[in-house]
Homo-oligomer: A and B are copies of this chain.
Amino acid sequence: MDFDPSAAFAPLHYRLQPYGGIAREDLRRLNDLPYTQMEFAVGRRIAPRGRQLDRIYLIISGWVGQSRYLMSGTRQIVHVLLPGDIVPANVFALRKLDHELEALTHVVIRLFDPEDFVNLLQTAPELNMALWWAAEQQYSILRESIVRLGRRSSIERVAHLFLELHRRLLIIRQAKEESFMLPMTQEAFRDVLGLSLVHMNRMLRQLEKQKLIERKDTTIQFRNRQELSRLCDFDPAHLHLNGEGAWGGGK
């Protein structure tokens, strides 16, 4: 680490690292942008569906769900945002939110003025490019979620989500090599995977019984990650872990 961002910025810093050299100065300027900071308790709604986005949300700590409620009252969590993630992923298209933002854990977020943010990007091309790549990664995760929901069995879904979250947490250094903290309830987990609570719980126990994972409190420990990956045909390619293929965009 040649740059020592404030702890608040560390996740974003790690997240953008793979996408090429971002000037220390740029990160510092991002760090120095005026902001409002807010905290939310578990389960609280951070922003409602339909809200016109007039702020850039940066997640400092905690997990945030982008979720949709159907008329029947059921919920689908479309995407789980981790520290360092930004809403909207594409800061140039400030739309109305088509989903809720909900705190899946205790959450700290920072709000920026979009104009400040975009002005900074326009004089920081590397940072700009890195954010595009981070956005692209988010969308790849959405695509992979579609595959997971459309074509994988329940046990595969559970395994696949574990492995994906683990990789994402590794990037921001909030996981160990073979374990990670899963702070959300099974209820939230269920709504990511499109399953029932009962059945998802059974699949969890089955993974334990097969000695693929271990659970202690909120910690998930992999006991045989390779076998787990094989079980659910996990391929981290969609996470674009190396920024390879980045193209300078006429800079």
CB-based contact B147/A78 at 8 Å: yes
Set of chain B residues within 8 Å of A246, measured between Cβ atoms: 93-94
Set of chain B residues within 8 Å of A194, measured between Cβ atoms: 149-151
Q: Given A50-B237, A90-B90, 13 more contacts at CB 8 Å?
A: A70-B233, A74-B151, A89-B139, A90-B136, A93-B133, A93-B135, A93-B246, A95-B240, A98-B240, A119-B250, A139-B142, A145-B146, A146-B149
Chain A, 223-251, CB within 8 A of any chain B CB:
233, 237-238, 240, 244-247, 249-250
Separation of A55 and B151 alpha carbons in the complex (Å): 30
Q: Main SS of chain A's interface residues? A: mixed
Separation of A133 and B98 alpha carbons in the complex (Å): 14
CB-based contact B96/A143 at 8 Å: no
Separation of A70 and B147 alpha carbons in the complex (Å): 9
Max chain B C-beta neighbours (<10 A), residue from A75, A118, A152, A245: A245
Separation of A244 and B50 alpha carbons in the complex (Å): 12
